[in-house]
Chains A and B, each alone.
Chain A
Amino acid sequence: MTNQPTPAPGTGGPDAALGDTTFTPAFDHPLSPKERMTIDRGHMPEQDALLRAANFREVNLGYSQQLAMLEAERCLQCKNPVCIEGCPVRVNIPLFIERLRVGDMDGAAASLLDDNALPCVTGRVCPQEIQCEGRCVRTKKGASVAIGSLERFVADWAMAHPDRSTPAAPATSGRSVAVVGSGPAGLTAAGELVKQGHDVTVFEAFHAAGGVLIYGIPEFRLPKDIVQQEVDRLVASGVKIETNAIIGRTYTLRELRERFDAVFLAVGAGLPVFMNVPGENFKGVYSANEYLTRVNLMGAWNPESDTPVLKGHRVVVVGGGNVAMDSVRTAKRLGADEATIVYRRGKAELPARAEEVHHAEQEGIRFELQVAPLEVLADENRWVTGLRCIRMELGEPDASGRRRPIPIEGSEFVIDCEMVVVAIGTRSNPLLTASEPDLALNQAGYIVTDEHGMSSLPGVFAGGDIVRGAATVILAMGDGKRAAASVDAWLRGAYPPADESLAAAAATAGTTSGG
């Protein structure tokens, strides 16, 4: 059913279809699948590695219209589009690509925005290779369709043409929802709920909305003005945002339950995890949370910012995930001659997106793999001078399915450095959860929900990292979207929602998009 009939070529005339460009599609009729298979995947243009390692501008430069339309031709428009199943927010991928292919930018944008509240973000930070692109049938014979790059192109076009992609305001439901946390889960839920006509207020502890999108992910991977525009678009659609509001301090959860008909908790997994080795409180040791927040949210990358950040010639980042890559690449851009990743497993086990590891290697980041930290060393004034480490060998797979690292006796060595950034994960923050004894938590302090996202408190839903533990932006967004459907059902007195309602909504989006 998602095999949409191809819109007539040239619908609306080439000028209307292509927005500001005067480019005319060269393809007057659809290519055959065989012809499509002959097109190679379009390379994402990017800043030169040496140049970008010294600035904070975005690494990926984005497709041109021509490149995007050519890439769209590579999509085979499968009858059974498995790419959609790989997407946590169930974007109708073939539909927006087909509209892009024929130059129907308005239609492509409407379809994408209907499925995804933050497409400029996901087009940049999703691990597509293990999601939509990982499922793409073209991977059986070569490279997948560059779905992420196409999403980014359509999303950026929509952002540049706000008058062309604003859906009509829905009828108000008369119900109100509090969303706690303005990260990817909270913003996605807010966007979905406001579409249903609910009165949505998002509470954010920091002075700016976006959560990890603004304090965590660096400018060179996700420009902050892009996040701000996504937030502005949500505000324009009716979402209210109250910053500087810490639930558990400024307001209690109980107060929110009294003031609002439903609550969605999406506070993230905010507490940094440290290594628990000697010397961690020396000057020059940062949590990745603190390091990235200083540089990103507080703008310390800019010499005019009042917020300071330490800069070392030699910086060691402990960890192998996306946050570790963000930290080490940030250190490089802040002038480190030697920026090194220390990770206790091997390259194949690095949890970071493949593209981030690749970009880091291009930028001259050193990788000390199968190495674990033992102690932070410092001088007499307690400034960091090095990290004492030990080499590891990989044994049998552990509970996570990854090979367990085992220390190699006698292999200790010291990496000289002035700074250590700890990026080995985060855990739940008890500030909100501990303030409400009736809110059921698991042993690790994460909120327990039913299969539809409702917590032990009626009308209080939860999603994102505070339920699943530290994960990715897109998984949090998937939770936000699913929770929004549950909240909507709850507010309409139809809870629990029908099973698969989200998948069904995604599958039928083709018939409703644009409205």
Chain B
Amino acid sequence: MHTVIDTAQLSPNVTRLVIEAPRIAEIRRPGQFVIVHRAPGAERIPLTIADADPERGTITLVIQAVGKSTEDLVALRPGDAIADVAGPLGKATELLDHGRAVCVGGGVGTAVVHPIALGLAALGVEVISVIGGRSKEWVIFEDELRRAGRVITCTDDGSYGRHGFVTDALREVIEAGGVDAVYAVGPVPMMRAVAELTRPYGVPTFASLNAIMLDGTGMCGGCRVAVGGKTVYACVDGPEFDAHQVDFRELADRLGTYRDFEAHALDVARKRRAEAQSDSADVADVAGSAPIHAPDGSCLIPGLATAAERQEAAAVAGEPRA
């Protein structure tokens, strides 16, 4: 069991959890992740280690609540326990040991790029962090990144820092010259945009891939993605890869495998929570017996519902079922 020591909400849907994990705190290196299994019946979720305190025996995880499982995690309070934390997993970041590096963080990815920035700074590399969010309240880890060097903050709506995307600011930094490497962590479209931006400049660029995985040891193959035309496993061969070689389209596509399931599960979970908090009969009516998995498996693979309907229609018409 791993006790939650501290929690803080960093942005409208991003929460920081500090949890006890002494062994991992002692040996983890930048870029590595853990797999968190909150309780029996919960999902196993890969989360990059945002920070660690070996003396206190704690690690920091930064979680974006996007589904039922992540909402359950960010609902944890100090003193609560997490059943299982496995790691540290993945290869550590190959850190530059001299020169100038740019660390690009988008949304929750800013927390993931943080240990890389600190690791680079500790090796004497000049670090420029370019981070962004939709608006001011979505910007996280700005102060923490200042410990590594200069920080350029961007917001999509201009409510804070520079107005625009991180790629706009990154272009200026690269054009100013002297950039030896770029480390990018964030949503897939952002990482792909960063890769396309740096490619013509020939600047080595690394992206950290947040693929779907179960075990984190190479056993399930769920995190497979094409890099340089060859299928690799994000969990053991990565999570960081040469961004110029990553098939981001495939990565984004595979990340969407369970989108319908997740939307359904989140819906059910929220209704159940609402039901637990109020005695409102109409809410209870909806949520009462709905399972997390859609009762009709057809919702999980798009197009299946229509296939089922086709079969029903065929059955009605007297044709044998396929």
Which A residues fall within an 8 A CB radius of B? 205-207, 243-246, 249-250, 270-272, 274, 280-281, 283-284, 286-287, 289-290, 293-294, 298-300, 303-313, 334-335, 337-338, 379, 381-383, 418-419, 429-431
Contact = CB atoms under 8 A, between A and B. Distances in A.
Given A246-B89, A311-B301, A305 B220 contact: no
B316 to A, nearest CB: 16
A481 B260 CA distance: 47
Contacts of A286: 222
Interface string B283-322: 0000000011101011011111001100100000000011
A334 B298 CA distance: 11
Nearest to A379: B303
Interface in B193-252: 214-222, 224-226, 231, 236, 250
B186 interface: no
Nearest to B249: A382
Nearest to A290: B220
B292 A246 contact: no
B29 to A, nearest CB: 11
B227 to A, nearest CB: 11
B275 to A, nearest CB: 15
Contacts of B253: 283, 381-382
B257 A283 contact: yes
Contacts of A335: 297
Given A249-B87, A250-B24, A308 B219 contact: no
A244 B87 CA distance: 7
B37 interface: yes
A251 to B, nearest CB: 8
Contact of A246 (B37, B87, B220, B231): B87
B42 A287 contact: no
Main secondary structure of the interface of A (DSSP, over half): loop
Contacts of B236: 431
Contact of A274 (B220, B221, B222, B297): B221
Given A313-B304, A313-B307, 12 more contacts: A205-B215, A246-B216, A284-B301, A287-B220, A298-B43, A304-B291, A304-B293, A305-B41, A310-B300, A311-B298, A312-B301, A429-B217
A383 B43 CA distance: 23
Interface stretch (B78-86, B134-142, B176-184): B78-86
B291 A205 contact: no
A306 B292 contact: yes
A246 B262 CA distance: 29
B221 A306 contact: no
Given A207-B44, A281-B254, A308-B293, A246 B302 contact: no
B219 A303 contact: no
A335 B250 CA distance: 28
Nearest to A299: B41
Contact of A305 (B258, B293, B321): B293
Contacts of B160: none
A271 B233 CA distance: 10
8 contacts: A271-B219, A290-B220, A305-B292, A306-B292, A310-B301, A379-B303, A382-B253, A431-B217
Contact of B43 (A283, A307, A311, A334): A307
A382 B220 CA distance: 20
B293 A293 contact: no
A294 B215 CA distance: 10
Contacts of B83: 207
